[in-house]
Structure 1
Amino acid sequence: MLINKNEFRKQQLAKLRDFSQSYQKLQEDQFLQEKLIATSDFKNSVSIGITISIMDEIDTKLIINTAWQFNKQVFIPRCLPGRRMEFTQITDYNRLTKNKFGILENWQSQSTINNEPDIIIVPGLAFKSDGYRLGFGGGYYDRFLAEHDLMSISMVGSLRLIEQSCWSINDYDIPVKKLITIE
């Protein structure tokens, strides 16, 4: 049975919020980050696109810090008009500003823009095993991935992998190419 995306999004957010303070979430986040860092995609990359995680998202700080440790270029998204985004380079966590969604962005005028990083780590609330994801509802990543054929990877914790199809897939939905799961 299919559920309206907005209704399922609300249900999923409530589940993730309850889970976010648990020890299990901390363990899963650590495991998923380490598993992603161990992939050849990460090891062979020179540049990565990734969000600085907030609230209920899977933590990304270990990935970012490891990337810097290995002299990889790190690019974070910033929202543009028309529900578009671009990726700007960061070299530390200073001088970032929060957007209306509470996401840290880099708006320094001299920032390098790279919309073709070697890999892009895509956040989401829920994922099907075929890579289709339920995002936060803005369509930013679907628009971006439709325009850029990149190696897209998502980290999927236990509450984010949805075995039974419960939301509809639209023509504009773009699947993630690789899922990193806790299995």
Structure 2
Amino acid sequence: MEKKEIRRKMIEMRDTQPKEIIKEKSRVILEKLFELNYYKKAKNIMFYVDTRNEVRTLDAIKKSIYLGKKVFVPKVINKCDMLAVRIKSLNELKKGHFGILEPVSGEMINPKELEVVVIPGVAFDKSGCRLGYGGGYYDRFLQNLKADAVKIALAFEFQILDELPKEEYDILMDIIITEKRIYFINKKDQYYLEEVY
């Protein structure tokens, strides 16, 4: 199946999920995230701001700010790039590109200073390959991270496929967290002893 067709089917599936189910599964996924040592130790962390039935992140953003972490979220600046901009409160977010909440302004960070980046996607496979919305924003952004930055994808289990079509420039996720399990792909976490939880 081609990327375009997979994208269409997965978005359709996700959009038909009841809000209560999305909310509950998101809660379970975030609990798993909070238990990871990578999350606990990170001082500079970037989250996506959820939209259209993605795994919800606003509670995680709020909690991370409360814990004293420096929290960054994406701000789209033109047709192909995004920046990581710090927020200290959810009140700093306003609707921006594609109707997604983003900061109006704020302190920017060099992507090389980010320790953990929490990433959305339409579908993933078990090798860590990610299918996004087709704009390439994350593909370009992730190329600028330092080598040991941890790329954590949040997804619902139905978004995990055996295999996705791969491109040369694809950047693999290190960890994928779903409501059912954690896929440790390129990173292990001392908290979890098994490869798949």
Alignment TM-score, normalising by the size of structure 2: 0.84
Counterpart selection for 2:108 from 113, 117, 122:
113
Does 2:161 match 1:162?
A: yes
Counterpart selection for 1:81 from 61, 78, 83:
78
Counterpart selection for 1:147 from 144, 148, 154:
144
- Cα RMSD, aligned residues only: 1.5
Secondary structure of 1:174's match? coil
* Equivalent position of 2:11 in the other structure: 13
* Equivalent position of 1:48 in the other structure: 45
- Residue 17 (structure 1) shift: 0.4
CA distance in 2, matches of 1:174, 1:168: 13
Does 2:61 match 1:64?
A: yes
Residues 85 and 69 (structure 1), Cα distance of their counterparts in 2 relative to 1, 3 Å cut: same
Unaligned runs of 5+ in 1: none
Higher RCO, Cα 8 Å, sep 6+: 1
| Number of equivalent positions | 176
Paired letter, 1:68: I
CA contact (8 A) 2:22 2:53 kept: no
What is the aligned-residue identity percentage? 28
Alignment TM-score, normalising by the size of structure 1: 0.90
Residues 80 and 37 (structure 1), Cα distance of their counterparts in 2 relative to 1, 3 Å cut: same
CA distance in 1, matches of 2:23, 2:90: 21
